[in-house]
């Protein structure tokens, strides 16, 4: 099945602030997501069943790329800093 990648405004604003090396890392991960969206770890959400995260290390900070699979689309939601313990996750998911 062919999936279409769509990004939310929140993710686009966060990505705009990153340097070129970080953007390249994220682009590579998005290509892996597009090839097989179910390859990364699923995380719990109150709103959606198919929420996943990708581990990244950007500027020495543990960061997570959060995405939701709503077939036939893959919605790139946001970048979360790991130190915040996913507290903002439901706030970002409510914007879908």
pLDDT tens-digit readout, 40-89: 999 998 889 999 999 999 888 899 999 999 989 999 999 998 877 777 88
Cis peptide before 43, with omega less than 30 degrees from 0? no
* pLDDT band at residue 35 using 50, 70 and 90 as cut-offs: very high
Measured distance CA(41)–CA(55) in Å, rounded: 9
Q: What are phi and psi of 64, to 5 degrees?
A: -120, 135
Domains of the chain, by residue range, sit at 4-93
CATH number at 4-93: 3.30.2310.20
pLDDT of residue 59: 86
* pLDDT band at residue 5 using 50, 70 and 90 as cut-offs: very high
Among 22, 46, 56, CA closest to 66:
56
């Amino acid at each position: 099945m062919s999936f279409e990648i769509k990004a939310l405004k929140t993710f686009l604003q966060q990505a705009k602030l990153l340097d070129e090396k970080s953007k390249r890392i994220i682009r590579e991960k998005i290509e892996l997501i597009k090839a097989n969206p179910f390859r990364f770890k699923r995380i719990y959400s109150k709103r959606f069943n198919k929420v996943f995260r990708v581990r990244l290390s950007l500027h020495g900070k543990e960061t997570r790329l959060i995405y939701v699979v709503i077939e036939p689309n893959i919605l790139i939601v946001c970048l979360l800093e790991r130190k915040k313990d996913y507290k903002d996750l439901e706030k970002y998911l409510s914007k879908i």
